[in-house]
């Protein structure tokens, strides 16, 4: 009890969790699963990998307890094991953004120039929703909206925003949100809306951060 070997084993056990996330594809899987459970085919399409590679990564995450599964017929659905896994991913992302010198340039390369995109804070959006003077649109895929969304938000998947534009009121500001601070869907939505002459902003982060903050959410079951 308390010897060097048992301490090594303990800390190696902690490191196994970090090792399980030591892949960009696995981090992306956690990011997607933070929005709600998905089956392997959907996850493979999301991360641009084969079903075999995606299954391999998911098994690695499951081996250390970060994801769990359920079977529905021939399909296996994956989900995060707990909210703590989402908090771990959020903390990792925040630490990387603060301390990884290259992350700003990597993010800018992916997200493009956000200089012309206005943002709204969670606190301000919560007040505006309570006052009823804003339209909020969830531009994530419809299944993610069904799994959980900001209470009062409309589902307007990014690929359908052009068709649904006419149904959005012209005299009210529109706020778009998606998966989080590194999701491009809300950026694209705001560009399309402002390009059509609408007043629009993006939420400062996304649905998971809204949920973690204890703000009102709903789900369609």
What string of pLDDT tens digits covers the 221 residues of the chain? 678 899 999 999 999 999 999 999 999 999 999 999 999 999 999 999 999 999 999 999 999 999 999 999 989 999 999 999 999 999 999 999 999 989 989 999 999 888 889 999 999 999 999 999 999 999 999 999 999 999 999 999 999 999 998 889 889 999 999 999 999 999 999 999 999 999 999 999 999 999 999 999 999 85
Where in the chain are all domains bearing CATH 1.10.10.10?
4-100
| CATH of segment(s) 4-100 | 1.10.10.10
Q: Taking Cα atoms as reference points, which of 32, 117, 41, 36 lies closest to residue 73?
A: 41
* Residues contacting 178, CB < 8 A, separation 6+: 138, 139, 140, 158, 184, 185, 186, 189, 206, 207
- Out of 43, 129, 136, 178, the active site residue is 178
Total-model pTM:
0.87
- Given a contact cutoff of 8 angstroms between Cβ atoms, the answer to whether 106 and 179 are in contact is no
pLDDT at 1: 66
| Residue 89, token pair as written in the block | 């991913």
Query: At 50, phi and psi to the nearest 5?
Result: -70, 160
pLDDT at 13: 94
Give how far Cα 111 sits from Cα of 45, 65, 114, 137, 216, Å: 20, 31, 7, 20, 28
Give CA angle at 72 (66, 78), nearest 5°: 15
Q: What is the DSSP string of 164-200?
A: HGGGS-SSSEEEEEESSTT-SHHHHHHHHHHHTT--E
| Residue 128, token pair as written in the block | 């505006």
Give CA angle at 140 (182, 204), nearest 5°: 40
Where in the chain are all domains bearing CATH 3.40.250.10?
110-218
From the candidate CATH numbers 3.40.250.10, 3.90.79.10, 3.30.830.10, 3.90.1200.10, the one assigned to the domain spanning 110-218: 3.40.250.10
Helix (H) or strand (E) holding 55: helix 51-63
Instruction: Say whether 178 is catalytic.
Output: yes
């Amino acid at each position: 009890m308390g010897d060097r070997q048992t301490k090594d084993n303990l800390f190696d056990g902690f490191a196994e969790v970090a090792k399980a996330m030591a892949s960009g594809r696995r981090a992306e899987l956690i990011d997607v699963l933070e929005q709600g459970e998905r089956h392997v085919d959907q996850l493979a399409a999301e991360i641009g990998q084969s079903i075999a590679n995606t299954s391999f990564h998911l098994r690695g995450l499951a081996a250390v307890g970060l994801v769990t599964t359920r079977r529905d017929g021939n399909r296996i659905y994956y989900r995060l094991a707990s909210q703590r896994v989402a908090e771990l991913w959020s903390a990792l992302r925040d630490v990387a953004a603060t301390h990884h010198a290259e992350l700003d340039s990597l993010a800018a390369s992916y997200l493009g120039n956000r200089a012309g995109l206005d943002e709204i804070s969670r606190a301000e959006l919560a007040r505006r929703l309570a006052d009823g003077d804003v339209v909020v649109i969830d531009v994530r895929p419809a299944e993610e909206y069904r799994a959980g969304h900001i209470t009062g938000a409309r589902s307007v998947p990014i690929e359908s925003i052009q068709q649904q534009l006419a149904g959005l009121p012209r005299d009210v500001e529109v706020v778009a949100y998606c998966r989080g601070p590194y999701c491009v869907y809300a950026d694209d939505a705001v560009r399309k809306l402002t390009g059509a002459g609408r007043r629009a902003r993006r939420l400062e982060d996304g649905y998971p951060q809204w949920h973690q903050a204890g703000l009102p959410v709903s789900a369609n079951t």
